Structure formats: C-alpha cells, structure tokens
Amino acid sequence: MKKDDCIFCRIANGEIPSNTVYEDEDFRCILDLSPAAKGHTLVIPKEHFQDALNADDEVLSKIFKVAAKVGEGMKKALNADGINIVQNNGEAAGQTVPHLHVHVIPRYNGDEKMVTWTQHESDSEEQKRIAEKIAAMI
C-alpha cells in the first residue's frame, strides 16, 4: 500500500522525479539528496512500511539483496574500497523519513569514520540476563 502524504512513497512510485540507479518491481534506488559521500544511495520499497520492524517478510528478504547489488555496482563504478549498508529504525535511531529505506554508502581507505559508536566493557552476568530477556521476546 502507498501512503499519499509520504515523500518516499511518491518518489519510489515515480510521482516525484529522482536520480534512480536501479529499479525493479518492488524497489527504487535513488541518490540521497544530502549524501554522506558521492553516490550515497537509498534503497526504497515501493510499498509503504514505517521501518524494518513493521515491514513484511517478503520485502525484508529482498531489500538486503538489492542493497548488496547496488553496493556491488557502486564499488565498481566509483572505485570504492568498501561499502556501508546502514538502516535506521525510529527517531532515536536516527530515522528522519518514516518510510523503510536502506542506505548504501561508498567508502574509501582513510576517509572519515561514518558508522561509529563508543565501545563499552560488558559484564558476563549482565550479558547473560540481557540475552535471555531478548530471546524471550523473539
């Protein structure tokens, strides 16, 4: 289903023009308007899902394959040394557009760090408790 007031629904379905690098029946892959690096691409499903946690299994099973395909082409076309595949769910996680999408970003040896976090020490007892708590909900 498409959502009329959703910008990514409108882009993915071709109502708003975009720089498309790949398109199939289910996805449109477009250049990000404010790229982290030249070639930064968004893989956008044509159907509306708020995020990965709300998407159906079929879209989820396909989206990573499309991202990898785009990454492969991007690596060759732009001589990238590596590719980040990044996906944000919810405002707290950095999602700004509430329509599922995956970022595919070309990376070069020595370029600025982009996907990064501070690593903390872990406590083995606490780790065990957390793992059990999550496992019980899956």
Q: Which of 10, 15, 89 is nearest to 44 (CA)?
A: 10
Q: Which does 9 bind (CB under 5 to 8 A by kind): ligand 5GP, Zn ion, none?
A: Zn ion
Q: Which is nearer to ligand 5GP, 70 or 137 (CB)?
A: 70
Residue 31 or 68 having the CB closest to ligand 5GP: 31
State the residue for tokens 């083995």: 124
Binding of residue 95 to ligand 5GP (CB under 6 A): yes
Stretch that binds Zn ion, among 1-9, 37-45, 61-69, 128-136 (CB under 5 A): 1-9
Query: Which residues contact residue 41 at a Cβ distance below 8 angstroms, ignoring those fewer than 6 apart?
Result: 21, 29, 30, 31, 32, 70, 74, 103, 104, 105
Q: Would you tell me which residues interact with ligand 5GP (CB under 6 A)?
A: 7, 18, 30-34, 42, 88, 94-97
